[in-house]
């Protein structure tokens, strides 16, 4: 028969696994929601001015959606500038949460120089700049992919908690 200390250790380990699952699941679900709402980029919807500045032959859609990153402790300064219209590279980066300490502060970030403009739909230096009308990946009139994912974060936490309760 296990000792009292062994029984307590077993319960502590079980609840640590559950807490880790809730943390990891929430980070991954929030990251997935951000990636799914991030604009891929459709050159044909750009204004004439921007099309002249960056011709279609040099443009590859998917830099923004492919450049989301994850870190713990503090937000990173890197900008991987990955061309990946599917967002799978960003999703792979979010899986790093599985190796991170559970009690750390977790960050999902995109250091693209135009990330704030993509989130808010306005440019900080060009007063009449606006995102084009919405496309199939949520861009336009202020994509707000981060805000929308945060609005859903309570649901993500509840989902992760329900999954954790079913863990052995």
Give tens-digit pLDDT for 40-62.
Answer: 776 676 667 777 777 777 767 78
- Structural domain including 147 reads 39-165
Answer whether residue 69 is part of any domain: yes
Answer whether residue 33 is part of any domain: no
CA distance 152 to 31: 11
The token duo for 36 is: 């799914």
CA distance 56 to 138: 21
Answer whether residue 85 is part of any domain: yes
Answer whether residue 17 is part of any domain: no
Query: How remote is the C-alpha of 120 from its chain's centroid?
Result: 16
Asked if 136 contacts 129 with a C-beta cutoff of 8 angstroms, the reply is no
Higher-pLDDT residue of 3, 168: 3
Answer whether residue 161 is part of any domain: yes
Average pLDDT along the chain: 84
Answer whether residue 124 is part of any domain: yes
Mean pLDDT of 1-17: 94
Q: How high is the pLDDT of residue 126?
A: 61
């Amino acid at each position: 028969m296990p000792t009292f200390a062994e029984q307590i250790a077993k319960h502590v380990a079980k609840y640590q696994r559950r807490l880790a699952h809730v943390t990891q699941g929430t980070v991954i679900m929030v990251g997935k929601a951000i990636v799914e709402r991030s604009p891929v980029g459709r050159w044909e919807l750009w204004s004439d001015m921007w099309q002249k500045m960056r011709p279609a032959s040099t443009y590859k859609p998917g830099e923004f959606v492919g450049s989301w990153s994850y870190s713990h402790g503090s937000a990173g300064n890197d900008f991987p500038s990955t061309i990946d219209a599917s967002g799978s590279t960003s999703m792979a980066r979010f899986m790093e949460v599985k190796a991170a300490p559970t009690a750390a502060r977790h960050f999902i970030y995109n250091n693209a120089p135009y990330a704030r403009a993509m989130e808010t739909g306005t440019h900080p230096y060009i007063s009449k700049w606006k995102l084009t009308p919405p496309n199939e990946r949520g861009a336009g009139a202020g994509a707000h992919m981060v805000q929308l994912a945060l609005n859903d974060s309570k649901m993500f936490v509840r989902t992760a908690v329900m999954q954790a309760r079913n863990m052995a």
